[in-house]
């Protein structure tokens, strides 16, 4: 069993470098196997999700060569499509991207239904709708989903998504990049990682236009070529360190970020009393006074991200008055509040709305992460708490935060990772 032991109450001070974006890597890595040449990907975060992708690739005879700590060369020239390792794929939410990526190149793809964090029902009907519109036949048997291009190759299509979905948007772009003809995707997600995946595909010779707007147009190309590409910084990791600074009343300079991607987070943090200074590629966060109450509603980009909801809800526990937080993306993303209550929080959830009652402070406790961002929220509370917190199920945290122990220790946090035999 692995636990984090955290002694709270220490203001964090110093500089924290931000890693490459997990959610962009989750789309870019499967896109890399669409090319039968070598791609060099820089700023790859070394987190559990990425290591899983690389293990999956190796089992599919994709050549993966580390080139320094965060750069990998990936060569899928000799990829073996017959043996995708279902056991590994079922551990990861983003395994569905192999559907779009492999369909485009091979006309067939079989993956296991997605695993990952339990934050809601998480259907994939919009992914299937787009792939079917492009000429794929879908079969779901047990936990395995097979998509086959009925004419041997996908063709361009016009798809209007019923729900704005990051995953379905990326999957449809991947599939359309190597389809025959033109595809138009409407009502798409505009998140920075959607744009990053599109930019990566374009660096390999794809023709994807309009990513970052409501409509994406793709002209299918026959082949993709090798390229070098650097993944964008992780705006959610940056937002989480902003929360650590506010929780502890510290002074953190968070570097290697794109402040534009952080706009909704910065605006909300200023509203709750943080002082945030931005420069070209860094933000400095302090908290001169008390935390103010706020009303928060998660939205698709450029709204306030669902992936920052648990962290800001935790901060609002320490506010002067009652706050409300509405989760409009995932219906089950408040599971962590029962753990937070063990540390002294008073949060009442009804349907998708949390009423956050102010408490004087948190106290240390034995708590358990139930998903990636829930784990981050419990670390926010633990760093602010009086006494020691023992956080278990940290595998979730390590799915998405690179070197979190080292980064926190470097700015003065008392946190250790302890492995026990149990």
Task: Give the residues lining the site for ligand EPU (CB under 6 A).
Answer: 23, 26, 93-94, 117, 119-127, 163, 165-168, 189, 306-307, 329-330, 372-373, 400
For the CB of residue 304, give the shortest distance to ligand EPU in the complex, in Å: 11
Distance (Å, whole) CA 200 – CA 219: 15
Distance (Å, whole) CA 307 – CA 81: 33
Distance (Å, whole) CA 194 – CA 211: 7
| Ranges of H-type helices in 115-184 | 125-133, 166-177
DSSP 375-396: HHHHHHHHHHSBSEEEEE-THH
CA angle 169, 237, 38 (to 5 degrees): 55
**Residue of 35, 117, 227, 370 marked catalytic:** 117
DSSP 8-state assignment for residue 262: G
- Count of other CB atoms within 10 angstroms of residue 72: 21
Select from 239, 141, 214, 134 the least CA-distant residue to 178. Answer: 134
For the CB of residue 52, give the shortest distance to ligand EPU in the complex, in Å: 12
DSSP 8-state assignment for residue 405: H
Distance (Å, whole) CA 340 – CA 382: 9
Choose between 198 and 319: whose C-beta lies nearer to ligand EPU: 198
For the CB of residue 374, give the shortest distance to ligand EPU in the complex, in Å: 9
For the CB of residue 203, give the shortest distance to ligand EPU in the complex, in Å: 20
Choose between 11 and 400: whose C-beta lies nearer to ligand EPU: 400
For the CB of residue 394, give the shortest distance to ligand EPU in the complex, in Å: 15
For the CB of residue 174, give the shortest distance to ligand EPU in the complex, in Å: 13
The answer to whether the CB of 392 falls within 8 A of the CB of 366 is yes
Choose between 120 and 205: whose C-beta lies nearer to ligand EPU: 120
| Ranges of H-type helices in 134-274 | 166-177, 192-203, 235-248, 263-271
117 given a catalytic annotation: yes
Choose between 205 and 302: whose C-beta lies nearer to ligand EPU: 302
The owner of tokens 């917190």 is 389
Choose between 173 and 329: whose C-beta lies nearer to ligand EPU: 329
Choose between 317 and 329: whose C-beta lies nearer to ligand EPU: 329
The owner of tokens 């192999």 is 98
The owner of tokens 């995708």 is 84
CA angle 303, 373, 393 (to 5 degrees): 170
Choose between 221 and 370: whose C-beta lies nearer to ligand EPU: 370
The answer to whether the CB of 409 falls within 8 A of the CB of 26 is no
Token digits for 400? 């998405």
DSSP 271-332: HTT-EEEE-SSEEEEE--SPBPP-EEEB-STTSB-GGGHHHHHHHHTTBSS-EEEE--S-TT
For the CB of residue 143, give the shortest distance to ligand EPU in the complex, in Å: 17
The answer to whether the CB of 363 falls within 8 A of the CB of 9 is no
- Count of other CB atoms within 10 angstroms of residue 174: 30
Select from 130, 125, 122, 20 the least CA-distant residue to 69. Answer: 20
Choose between 269 and 330: whose C-beta lies nearer to ligand EPU: 330
Choose between 260 and 290: whose C-beta lies nearer to ligand EPU: 260
Residues labelled catalytic: 117
């Amino acid at each position: 069993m692995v636990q984090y032991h955290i002694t709270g109450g220490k203001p964090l001070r110093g500089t924290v470098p931000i890693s490459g974006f997990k959610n962009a890597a989750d789309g870019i890595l499967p896109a890399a196997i669409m090319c039968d040449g070598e791609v060099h990907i820089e700023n790859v975060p070394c987190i559990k999700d990425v290591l899983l992708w690389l293990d999956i690739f190796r089992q599919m005879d994709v050549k993966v060569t580390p080139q320094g700590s965060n750069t990998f060369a990936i060569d899928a020239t000799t990829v073996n499509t017959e043996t995708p390792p279902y056991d590994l794929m079922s551990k990861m939410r983003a395994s569905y991207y192999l559907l779009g990526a492999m369909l485009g190149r091979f006309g067939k793809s079989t993956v296991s239904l997605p695993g990952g964090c339990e934050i809601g029902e998480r259907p994939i009907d919009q992914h299937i709708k787009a792939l079917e519109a492009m000429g794929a036949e879908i079969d779901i048997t047990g936990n395995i989903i097979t998509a086959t291009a009925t004419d041997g190759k996908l063709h361009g299509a016009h798809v209007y998504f019923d729900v704005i979905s990051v995953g379905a948007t990326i999957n449809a772009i991947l599939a359309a990049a190597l389809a025959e003809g033109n595809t138009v995707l409407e009502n798409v997600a505009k998140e920075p990682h959607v744009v990053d995946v599109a930019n990566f595909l374009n660096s390999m010779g794809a023709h994807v236009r309009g990513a970052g707007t409501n409509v994406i147009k793709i002209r299918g190309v026959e082949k993709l070529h090798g390229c070098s590409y650097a993944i964008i910084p992780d705006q959610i990791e940056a937002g989480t360190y902003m929360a650590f600074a506010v929780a502890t009343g510290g002074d953190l300079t968070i570097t290697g970020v794109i402040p534009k991607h952080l706009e909704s987070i910065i605006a909300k943090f200023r509203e709750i009393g943080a002082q945030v200074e931005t420069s070209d590629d860094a933000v400095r966060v302090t908290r001169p006074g008390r935390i103010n109450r706020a009303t928060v509603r998660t939205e698709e980009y450029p709204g306030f991200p669902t992936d920052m909801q648990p962290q800001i809800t935790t901060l609002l526990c320490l506010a002067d008055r009652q706050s409300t937080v509405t989760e409009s993306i995932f219906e089950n993303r408040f599971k962590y509040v029962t753990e937070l209550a063990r540390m002294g929080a008073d949060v009442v959830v009804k349907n998708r709305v949390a009423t956050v009652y102010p408490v004087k402070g948190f106290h240390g406790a034995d708590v358990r992460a139930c998903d990636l961002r829930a784990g981050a929220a419990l670390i926010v509370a633990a760093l602010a708490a009086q006494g020691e917190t023992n956080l278990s199920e940290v595998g979730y945290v390590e799915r998405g935060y690179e070197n979190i122990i080292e980064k926190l220790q470097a700015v003065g946090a008392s946190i250790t990772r302890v492995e026990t035999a149990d």
